[in-house]
């Protein structure tokens, strides 16, 4: 298939290129950038030198639809809201990596994104694309809203336990994320001098990704569970570590927790369980997922059997963005799900 990237000069665009340029069933025929139009992609993504002679082109839905069978959209939220309708009307299949079409309920955009969604009826046309949660819906769709990176890590951590979680009370989710999570554009808060060495709590209690987590819980009749979600920028370039604190309805044994995890993620190509009794790597660590599409999951069960701490780790630019988007693209197009995604993490990094 011929594919293109709308917003190819950003961090996510670069990861899409890294993956798609080695995907055996696709040819990248179009990469759009305003700032770098006419330049070779390796001028912006220097690690891709010698891999491809592609040149950035202009943003043009007509060109995109004539050159591509599918388009990955990797521009900021408000830009996606402006651009996606033009792309959709050209009839092309698309995976949008921005939050523009992720929420099912248009009313949720005002409290969480501070806008009235300009195309509320279009939201229903998009499928939330997290294969471990709704693979079958993705298979039948032509428009995917790729999940938020922190939401992906959180949802995959708790997914197995929605049936066993207490139906009221609190779910505490603490997330740490590397600096690439904020994109490649400079701001006063992400210069090296200011960003280096930080552990910075931000958007406590009102992070945009928390609505994706609560919506998922509502779908499982857990609307009375209060989600306390906190995010922290930490001193990594890539990676997310989520720690989720759950109270269970009934006590479980460690063996039962393992059984639930194995049943929940049976045959999942990108979920690994990390819970070793010895050695230095006993629980998930984002550093051990870098460059890969893995989400690593581990846990600790407290002695009372009712308090479960789940930990998940992934690379925000891969399973949290480009890798998951390609996984969805494969499913949408009847391509084997892991094609192009058998990326072994790099270590040490
Ligand atoms: N970074 C992550 O970990 C992550 C994870 C999941 C999802 N996402 C989502 O993926 C999308 C891309 O994220 P990113 O991290 O790649 O961001 P980024 O590094 O800032 O790149 C975004 C690109 O969009 C283009 N763009 C087009 N219109 C723009 C506008 N009005 N303002 C700013 N840039 C504009 C820019 O390229 P030109 O100016 O060259 O056209 C820019 O390189 C965002 O919607 C983000 O929320 C990011």
Q: Which of 4, 7, 182, 320 to mutate to test the pocket of ligand 1 (most atoms within 8 A of CB)?
A: 7
Gap from CA of 83 to ligand 1 centroid (Å): 13
What are the tens digits of pLDDT across the range 33-77?
A: 999 999 999 999 999 999 999 999 999 999 999 999 999 999 999
Q: Show the tokens assigned to 2.
A: 């011929």
Exposed, middle or buried by CB within 10 Å (0-12, 13-18, 19+), for 116?
exposed
Q: Which residues pair with 200 in a beta bridge?
A: 233
Report residues of the chain scoring pLDDT below 70: none
Look at residue 169 in the predicted model and tell me its pLDDT. 85
Share of the chain above pLDDT 90, in %: 96
**Does the Cβ of 298 fall within 6 Å of ligand 1?**
no
Q: Report the alpha-carbon distance of residue 294 to residue 274 in Å, rounded.
A: 12
What are the tens digits of pLDDT across the range 256-304?
A: 999 999 999 999 999 999 999 999 999 999 999 999 999 999 999 999 9
Q: Where do the DSSP E strands lie in 193-279?
A: 199-202, 225-234, 240-247, 271-273
Gap from CA of 10 to ligand 1 centroid (Å): 5
Look at residue 205 in the predicted model and tell me its pLDDT. 86
Exposed, middle or buried by CB within 10 Å (0-12, 13-18, 19+), for 168?
exposed
| pTM, 2 dp | 0.98
Q: What is the mean pLDDT of the chain?
A: 97
Buried b (16+ CB within 10 A) or exposed e, 292-312: bbbbbbbbebeeeebebbbbb
**Does the Cβ of 33 fall within 6 Å of ligand 1?**
yes
Q: Answer yes or no: are the C-beta atoms of 309 and 334 closer than 8 Å.
A: no
Per the annotation, the verdict on 149 as an active-site residue is yes
**Does the Cβ of 98 fall within 6 Å of ligand 1?**
yes
Question: Residue 312: in which H helix or E strand, if any?
Answer: strand 307-314
Look at residue 5 in the predicted model and tell me its pLDDT. 98
Q: Answer yes or no: are the C-beta atoms of 20 and 26 closer than 8 Å.
A: yes
Q: Which atom of ligand 1 is nearest to the CA of 76?
A: 45
Distances (CA, A) of 315 to 69, 144, 343: 27, 20, 12
Cβ neighbours of 275 (radius 10 Å): 17
Q: Report the alpha-carbon distance of residue 342 to residue 248 in Å, rounded.
A: 35
**Does the Cβ of 321 fall within 6 Å of ligand 1?**
yes
Q: Which atom of ligand 1 is nearest to the CA of 56?
A: 40
Token look-up 């693979």 returns 135
Q: Answer yes or no: are the C-beta atoms of 295 and 265 closer than 8 Å.
A: no
Gap from CA of 342 to ligand 1 centroid (Å): 25
**Does the Cβ of 97 fall within 6 Å of ligand 1?**
yes
Q: Which atom of ligand 1 is nearest to the CA of 238?
A: 3
**Does the Cβ of 82 fall within 6 Å of ligand 1?**
no
């Amino acid at each position: 298939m011929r594919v293109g990237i709308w917003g190819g000069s950003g961090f996510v665009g670069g990861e899409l290129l890294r993956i798609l340029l080695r995907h055996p069933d696709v040819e990248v025929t179009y990469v759009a950038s305003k700032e770098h139009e006419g330049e070779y992609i390796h001028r912006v993504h220097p690690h891709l030198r010698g891999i491809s002679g592609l040149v950035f082109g202009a943003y043009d839905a007509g060109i995109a639809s004539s050159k591509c069978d599918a388009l990955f959209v990797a521009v900021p939220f408000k830009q996606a809201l402006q651009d996606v309708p033009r792309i959709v009307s050209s009839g092309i299949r698309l995976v949008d990596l921005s939050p523009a079409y992720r929420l099912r309920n248009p009313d949720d955009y005002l409290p969480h994104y501070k806008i009235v969604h300009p195309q509320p009826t279009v939201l229903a046309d998009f499928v939330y694309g997290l294969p471990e949660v709704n693979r079958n819906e993705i298979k039948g769709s032509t428009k995917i809203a790729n999940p938020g990176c922190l939401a992906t890590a959180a949802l995959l951590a708790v997914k197995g336990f929605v049936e066993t979680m207490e139906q009221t009370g609190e779910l505490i989710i603490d997330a740490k994320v590397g600096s690439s999570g904020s994109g490649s554009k400079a701001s006063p808060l992400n210069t090296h001098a200011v960003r280096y060495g930080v552990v910075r709590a931000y958007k406590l209690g009102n992070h945009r990704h928390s609505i994706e987590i609560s919506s998922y819980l509502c779908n499982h009749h857990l609307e009375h569970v209060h989600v306390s979600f906190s995010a922290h920028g930490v001193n990594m370039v890539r990676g997310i570590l989520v720690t989720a604190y759950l109270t269970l309805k009934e006590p479980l044994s460690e063996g039962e927790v393992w059984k639930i995890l194995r049943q929940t993620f049976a045959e999942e190509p990108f979920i690994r369980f990390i819970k070793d009794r010895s050695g230095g790597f006993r629980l998930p660590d984002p550093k051990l997922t870098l460059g890969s599409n893995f989400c690593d999951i581990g846990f600790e069960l407290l002695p009372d059997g009712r308090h479960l701490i789940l930990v998940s780790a992934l690379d925000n630019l891969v399973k949290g963005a480009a890798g998951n988007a390609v996984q969805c693209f494969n499913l949408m197009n009847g391509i084997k799900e892991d094609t192009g995604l058998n990326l072994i993490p790099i270590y040490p990094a």
